[in-house]
Amino acid sequence: MSYNLLKGKKGIIFGALNDQSLAWKIAEKAHDEGGEFILTNTPLALRMGELDALSKKCNAPVIPSDATSVSDLENLIRKTMEHFGGKIDFILHSIGMSMNVRKKRTYDDLDYDFYQKTVDISAMSLHKVLQVARKQDAINEWGSVVALSYIAAQRTLYRYNDMADAKAMLESIARSFGYIYGRDKKVRINTVSQSPTLTTAGKGVRGMENLIDFTERMSPLGNADASECADYVVTLFSDLTRKVTMQNLFHDGGFSSMGMSYNAMYVYNKSLDGCLDCDD
């Protein structure tokens, strides 16, 4: 069902790679709700070719940009404003990547070049997007920027590795920039801390299926899926949430407030044989 929540609103969506991506679902939902937007991803991601289908479906032009490159972002935001003939109203930052995770480097054996890339791609890129947008005065008053985060920013979840540090920084950037952008231009900035979800990035974390089973058992409402994430993010782009800013908003079926649930304890009791794989 559509409520026209984004009718007349224009934006940029970073990070749709394929139809499993959280950004893909958010783009579809934003389109259903009447929003217009530019899609963007790295030239490498675009070469995979899947974004064309989303672009056609949502009537959304694609402009390539690497979110770690300030000149790419300047070009993206300038071209976006040319395309729409003015400022925009929403930006989705749905970007994450860790070579340490990909290469199975443990947290006590990180490659530091990889670590810097993790932070640059997954956290500092939000600052770059905001700084470029601010300098070009690209976002209308009461506009909304949302970045996707994960509870490993607050709590240790083994194997999430250096991405936990990047998420903590991402959430901090949302607060620090949220003050300045809110004070000067009434632009709001929030992070949404989403349940684990089987996307390309999600599948990169070893043991993801088991983690999803665990969080499903722990959460009174069950895990939030990608389409539910899209529903939530669209409300944050809408005018219904104009005074929400500088927040990390858990979208996780209640997981973040749980200590132990009956369902998780039930499985734990059945397997008290000890920890078999405590390598990290």
Ligand X SMILES: NC(=O)c1ccc[n+]([C@@H]2O[C@H](COP(=O)([O-])OP(=O)(O)OC[C@H]3O[C@@H](n4cnc5c(N)ncnc54)[C@H](O)[C@@H]3O)[C@@H](O)[C@H]2O)c1
Task: Kindly list the residues in this chain that would bind ligand X in the complex (CB under 6 A).
Answer: 14-15, 17, 21-23, 41-42, 45, 66-68, 94-97, 121, 148-150, 194, 196-197, 199-202
Gap between the Cα atoms of 17 and 80, Å rounded: 20
Residue placing its CB nearer to ligand X in the complex, 180 or 208: 208
Gap between the Cα atoms of 52 and 46, Å rounded: 8
Work out whether the CA dihedral 3, 9, 15, 18 comes out positive or negative: positive
In eight-state DSSP terms, residue 196 is P
CB of 162 to ligand X, least distance (A): 12
CB of 168 to ligand X, least distance (A): 12
CB of 72 to ligand X, least distance (A): 8
CB of 149 to ligand X, least distance (A): 6
Residue placing its CB nearer to ligand X in the complex, 143 or 196: 196
The sheet with strand 248-251 has its strands ordered as 36-40, 10-14, 88-93, 139-149, 188-194, 248-251
Residue placing its CB nearer to ligand X in the complex, 181 or 250: 250
Residue placing its CB nearer to ligand X in the complex, 150 or 181: 150
- Write down the number of H helices and E strands in the chain: 12, 6
CB of 89 to ligand X, least distance (A): 21
SS3 call for 244: coil
Helices 22-32 and 51-58, axial angle in degrees (round to 10): 10
Residue placing its CB nearer to ligand X in the complex, 67 or 139: 67
Contact between residue 251 and residue 194 where contact means Cβ atoms under 8 Å apart: yes
Residue placing its CB nearer to ligand X in the complex, 194 or 238: 194
CB of 132 to ligand X, least distance (A): 13
